[in-house]
Chain A
Amino acid sequence: MTIPDSAADAIRHNPAQNDPMVTFERVTKRFGNDEKSFVALDNVDLVVGRGEITGIIGRSGAGKSTLIRLVNGLEKVTSGRVVVDGTDVGGLGETGLRSLRREIGMIFQHFNLLSSRTAFDNVALPLEIAGLDRAAIKAKVGPLLELVGLADRASHYPSELSGGQKQRVGIARALATSPKLLLSDEATSALDPETTQSILALLKRINAELGLTILLITHEMEVVKTIASHVAVMDVGRIVEQGRTFDIFTAPKHETTRIMLAATSGTTLPEWLKTDLRQTPSAGDRILVRLTFLGATAFQPLTARLVTEIGGDVNILAGAIEEIAGEPFGTLVVAYPATPDTIARANRFYAETGLSTEVLGYVA
């Protein structure tokens, strides 16, 4: 059976709705020549779902920027493939890359706005590059500035705008060519927490209203928790864990994820307690356990029952209810005597309620 050309074209340009937007297939990236080459990405497999917000989190130098720069061909893979909406990026020449880049918006940590251009003209730049005439540009830029809430700042230069406003201009500029994918490299890292939240809210809105796929990289847990539906955790060039943000953050499997989570969640232990913490119990010690539970409403009854089930000698050392990818999730750190019967009673209670637990250690 043959498919008419026109139909084939239609299929090519309208890939199935559940096809991923970006796939990394066994991607390795080396910098430098053979003898002293440096492996920045090591056999990375990753899928970025269409219409979703995917976060990549990792420490400085983990290879996040390198990874995102492969998507629009600013960097080339050493081996493996990066496929964007059905197109193998590595197979494109300069011309092909340029037209791909016009379909991918990008925003940056330091905004990268032209200081010599007003907000309006900065947003106009990608359209000028694409060869649109002045009238068409004008028709597009106005609504974009409106969308990011800067209609009244059109004639301001970047030096006359706050950090948050600059990033809004950056977002409007990234959206100018109506891209299907938005790449964000630490877009909120130079902003204060409040401004960060407003920029994240804007990205979330754009994702929901325009159905735009967003791939963002960050070293801030808070960013991923707030807007990413999916997350990949990177450590020294490898993806150590990936999946739904809620699953990864409520049940982190890899040490790197745990460390990063501990640094941001409300359940960090005080320093003195950490230094006193031992991994093996001695007589008279108390056991420290971290309990995690889903749903905000579970908090009150849980703490109450814990005390009655285990006995009066329970301390609650830390506790927090957070929201991860829009779902509430609680953590509680408790301490009680490390005696066999108390532990047995507690474990019975955990099994019965389905709480997940982690023994943190023992203190005198």
Chain B
Amino acid sequence: MSPEMLFDLLWKALLQTLHMVAVSGLIGSLIGLPIGIFLATSGKGELFPAPTLNKVVGLIVNAARSTPFIILVVAIIPFTRLLAGTSIGTKAAIVPLTIATVPFFARLVEAAIREIDKGLIEAARAMGATPMQIVTKVLLAEAKPAIVAAFTMTIVSLIGYSAMVGAVGGGGLGDLGIRYGYQRFMPEVMLAVVVVLIVLVQLVQSAGDALARRFDKRNRQG
């Protein structure tokens, strides 16, 4: 394969990966965020006590998280068709990717919020804050660095997951690697895909870390 052809393949695959990861990462996190907040604040004696619903949501989240991604992709094909109008292609791949993102991000957000010192919630209550004010002014503000880190982790995981959506013709880097590198014995394609993925993950991680550090005021040197 000529270098031009390889570059062209890689470039198209990269754009597909970025498209899938960006859309599913954004939508999945937007849905996952409130679920994570709910999980972290709806236990017994917490801000929005609803222990039963909390348990139910927790169970669903666990079920979704323990389903292997490739099985999820296949299992929800009817739902994907309903939502995307098709069950193959990049657009279709975004549906299972988004669904996998929601519980993953929700649990990370829950953990980030649970990390916050209970004394801060107590102080805000003592000021006469409403539960909603406590969420926006205390919990989200204080958890911001951890939530940014969670989002970074989600995107990195999504890059990995997106390699599997070749099964529904989703395309992307992983798919390219499998089809050319593995099935057609073109190790140089495989190598190129791996290198691009490594660089991509590195970039995402560094950008995420830098952003989280900027938000984190806990260990500043005078």
Residues of A within 8 A of B (CB): 72, 74, 97-102, 104, 106, 108, 110, 112, 114-117, 125-126, 128-130, 157-160, 177, 183
Contacts and interface: CB of A to CB of B under 8 A. Distances in A.
A78 B222 CA distance: 47
B220 A157 contact: yes
Nearest to B123: A112
A360 B181 CA distance: 92
A129 B219 contact: no
Contacts of A157: 217, 220
Contacts of B119: 108, 110, 112
Which of A97, A112, A157, A160: most chain B CB closer than 10 A? A112
A130 B130 CA distance: 10
13 contacts: A98-B128, A112-B123, A114-B120, A114-B141, A115-B217, A116-B215, A116-B217, A117-B141, A126-B127, A126-B128, A128-B137, A129-B137, A158-B217
A114 B134 CA distance: 12
A102 B123 CA distance: 12
A101 B141 contact: no
- The list of the 7 closest CB pairs from A to B, nearest first, reads A101-B128, A112-B123, A98-B128, A112-B119, A126-B127, A102-B128, A106-B126
A126 B129 CA distance: 8
In terms of DSSP, what is the predominant structure of the interface of chain B?
helix
Contacts of B114: none
Contact of B126 (A99, A104, A110, A114): A104
A116 B122 contact: no
Given A112-B120, A116-B144, A116-B215, 20 more contacts: A72-B126, A74-B122, A98-B128, A100-B128, A101-B126, A102-B128, A108-B122, A112-B117, A114-B120, A116-B217, A125-B137, A126-B127, A129-B128, A129-B133, A157-B217, A159-B217, A159-B220, A160-B220, A160-B222, A177-B127
A193 B211 CA distance: 40
A74 B117 CA distance: 17
A159 B222 CA distance: 8
A116 B126 contact: no
Given A110-B119, A112-B120, A114-B141, A129 B127 contact: yes
Which of A125, A128, A183: most chain B CB closer than 10 A? A125
A108 B128 contact: no
Contacts of A102: 127-128
B125 interface: yes
Interface in B180-194: none
B117 to A, nearest CB: 7
A238 B100 CA distance: 55
Contacts of A115: 142, 217-218
A150 B119 CA distance: 23
A108 B141 contact: no
Interface in B123-171: 123-130, 133, 137-138, 141-142, 144
B125 A74 contact: yes
A129 to B, nearest CB: 5
A177 B126 CA distance: 12
A108 B129 CA distance: 17
Nearest to B118: A112
Contacts of B127: 101-102, 106, 125-126, 129, 177
A115 to B, nearest CB: 5
A130 B126 contact: no
A129 B123 contact: no
A182 B220 CA distance: 31
Nearest to A104: B126
A101 B125 contact: yes
A310 to B, nearest CB: 56
A115 B139 CA distance: 11
A114 B128 contact: no
A74 B120 contact: no
A36 to B, nearest CB: 16
A74 B119 CA distance: 12
A151 to B, nearest CB: 18
Contacts of A130: 128
A106 B142 contact: no
Contacts of A159: 217-220
Contacts of A110: 117, 119
Interface in B196-216: 215
Nearest to B144: A116
A158 B220 CA distance: 9
Contacts of A183: 126
A183 B141 CA distance: 26
Given A115-B217, A130-B128, A159-B220, A108 B142 contact: no
